[in-house]
Structure 1
Amino acid sequence: MTGFFKTIAKIFNFFLILVVSYLTPDQNFSLEKKKFFSTKYSEANLRNGPGTNHLILYKILHKGYPVLIMEEFENWKRITDYKNRSGWIANSQLSSSSYGIVIENNSVLFKFPTIQSKQIALLQKDVIFGIATCKPAWCKIKVNDLTGWIETKRFWGSKH
């Protein structure tokens, strides 16, 4: 009888490990590892399905608007934005250029990547900017004719 219980215990442990490994979140599932794109033109249609026969949910009216790729189907990508709006957009409307969007009013643009550095500007929510390079907590950006550093926690988008 003891051998029977040992066999049952081994089977139970095997299934327990299997279930735990299945339920453990994927460590690669972070925003930094996901694919960010941006809109290529100043107007892009977001649809409720992959194809021009699907309804337009809304229009993105900004070139460089950052979007996160959630799914791909043929020549279409299902995207979401920082406001959790989602829909399908044609690949031809997207660019791999790195852009971000400010998510807090009065986000400071610094001359160097430290909060002790000179403040260049205060950026308001929804300002879109190009990203030149990033460090772990900072990105060097260009917004209009200004170039400076912003903390990564102050914006949504690619933090390559």
Structure 2
Amino acid sequence: MRIAVILSFAITVAIILAGNAQAETRGQVTNLPIPRYVSLKTSEGNVRRGPSLSHKIDWVFLRRDMPLQITGEFGHWRRVQDRDGQGGWVHYSLLSGNRTVIVDRDLAALHVKPDPQAPVNAYAEAGVVAQLGECNAEWCRISAGGQRGWIEKAALWGVEPDEIRE
């Protein structure tokens, strides 16, 4: 009987903890949301297997302003991944809170306002890195290469589907 009560208590605690895990996770170092988006501050950033200079460099990000998603924190290091899910550990000094996105659709229309019937300012090719402006439920305002406009949020990587920005 005593074992059944202890087991029942353990299951209850596990269910409560699992429910809390669904709530927003915060970084242990910054107390900022995990995951979250940032951009590469430099034109070159080493990606390491672990959070220190002694860990091997697996590859190098070579695109300034490239959006990255932070998925973990340890001291001055951030575990990041790109839109393909590739990543590793990067020193926080190489990252910026400046939000950028990658256009995921070829020839995505940039509209004058967030309306599919609105006039089109320009078209963005897949792979374009753009500065992220405000976002509503379905659209985001971006700018790249001297062009700006509203684009469907579903055509972008680097912004959450439910994210609203003013």
**If the length of structure 1 is used for normalisation, what is the TM-score?**
0.80
Q: Counterpart of 2:47 in structure 1: which amino acid? A: L
Q: CA deviation at 1:26?
A: 1.2
Structure 1 residues 49-128: aligned runs within 5 Å: 49-128=50-129
Gaps of 5+ in 2: 26-32
Structure 2 counterpart of 1:26, which letter? Q
Question: 4+ runs of 1 displaced by more than 4 Å?
Answer: 14-25
Mapping of 1:1-160 within 5 angstroms? Answer: 21=16, 26=22, 28=24, 34-158=35-159, 159=163, 160=165
Structure 1: runs of 5+ lacking an equivalent: none
For residues 21 and 107 of structure 1, do their structure 2 counterparts lie closer, same or farther at Cα, with a shift above 3 Å needed?
Answer: farther
Structure with bigger RCO (C-alpha 8 Å, 6+ apart):
1
The Cα RMSD (Å) is: 2.4
Q: Against the structure 1 CA distance between its residues 15 and 76, is the aligned structure 2 distance closer, same or farther, given a 3 Å change threshold?
A: closer
CA distance in 1, matches of 2:108, 2:34: 24
Q: How many residues align?
A: 150
- Give the C-alpha shift of residue 34 in structure 1: 3.3
Distance 1:91 1:138, change over 3 A: same
Deviates more, 1:53-62 or 1:147-156: 53-62
Per-residue Cα deviation, 1:16-39 (whole angstroms, up to 9, x for no partner): 76665555571547xx97311100
Please state whether the residue corresponding to 1:62 is helix, strand or coil.
coil
In the aligned structure 1, how far is the partner of 2:60 from the partner of 2:154?
27
Q: Percent of aligned pairs with the same residue? A: 28
Letter in 2 for 1:45: N
Task: Give SS of 1:49's match.
Answer: coil
Specify the structure having the higher radius of gyration (Cα). 1
Residues 79, 89 of structure 2: 8 Å contact kept: yes
Give the Cα separation in 1 of the matches to 2:157 and 2:13: 36
